[in-house]
Structure 1
Amino acid sequence: MLDNIIKLVKEQALGAISGNAQVPADKQEAAVETTTTSIVDGLKDHFTPDNLSAITNLFSGGASDMEGISSSLQGSVVSALSEKVGLSKEVANSVASAVIPAVIGIFSKKANDPNDSGFSVESLIKAFSGGKGGGGIFDALGSLFGGNK
Structure 2
Amino acid sequence: MFEQLTQLVQQYSGSAVVNNPAVPNEQNEAVISETSNSIFSGLQKIASEGGGEQLASLFSGKSPIDSSNPVVQQITQQLTGNLGEKFGLSSEASSGVASSMIPQILGSLVGKAKDSNDSSFQISDIISAISGNGGQASGIMDAISKYGTQFGLDQNGDGKVDISDAMTLGNKSGGIGGLLGKLFGK
TM-score, normalization by structure 2: 0.66
Structure 1 residue 4: deviation in Å? 1.5
1:62 partner letter:
S
Whether 1:16 aligns to 2:16 is yes
SS at match of 2:22: coil
Asked whether the equivalents of residues 13 and 35 of structure 1 are also in contact (C-alpha less than 8 Å), the reply is no
Q: Which residue does the alignment assign to 1:127?
A: 129
Corresponding pairs, count: 147
Q: Distance in 2 between matches of 1:64 and 1:124?
A: 17
Change in CA separation of 1:19 and 1:47 when aligned onto 2, cut-off 3 Å: farther
Q: Which residue does the alignment assign to 1:63?
A: 64
SS at match of 1:63: coil
% same residue: 32
Q: Which has the higher relative contact order, 1 or 2, with Cα contacts under 8 A spaced 6 or more apart?
A: 1
Q: Give ranges in structure 2 of 5+ residues lacking alignment.
A: 142-162, 167-175
Q: Which residue does the alignment assign to 2:180?
A: 141
Structure 1 residue 121: deviation in Å? 2.0
Any idea what the Cα deviations from partners look like across 1:63-118, whole Å, max 9, x if unmatched? 38961011101111111111110000000001001110111111111011011245
Greater CA radius of gyration, 1 or 2? 2
Asked whether the equivalents of residues 9 and 36 of structure 2 are also in contact (C-alpha less than 8 Å), the reply is yes
Q: Which residue does the alignment assign to 1:96?
A: 98
Any idea what the Cα deviations from partners look like across 1:1-59, whole Å, max 9, x if unmatched? 332123323443465200212212233233222222222211222356x5442223213
Q: Distance in 1 between matches of 2:109 and 2:65?
A: 17
Q: Give ranges in structure 1 of 5+ residues lacking alignment.
A: none
1:4 partner letter:
Q
Superposition map of 1:40-55 within 5 A: 40-47=40-47, 51-55=51-55
TM-score, normalization by structure 1: 0.79
Asked whether the equivalents of residues 17 and 23 of structure 1 are also in contact (C-alpha less than 8 Å), the reply is yes
Q: Which residue does the alignment assign to 2:88?
A: 86
Q: Distance in 2 between matches of 1:38 and 1:64?
A: 17
Task: Give the CA RMSD over aligned residues.
Answer: 2.9
Change in CA separation of 1:45 and 1:74 when aligned onto 2, cut-off 3 Å: same
Change in CA separation of 1:5 and 1:24 when aligned onto 2, cut-off 3 Å: closer
SS at match of 2:12: helix
Q: Which residue does the alignment assign to 2:31?
A: 31
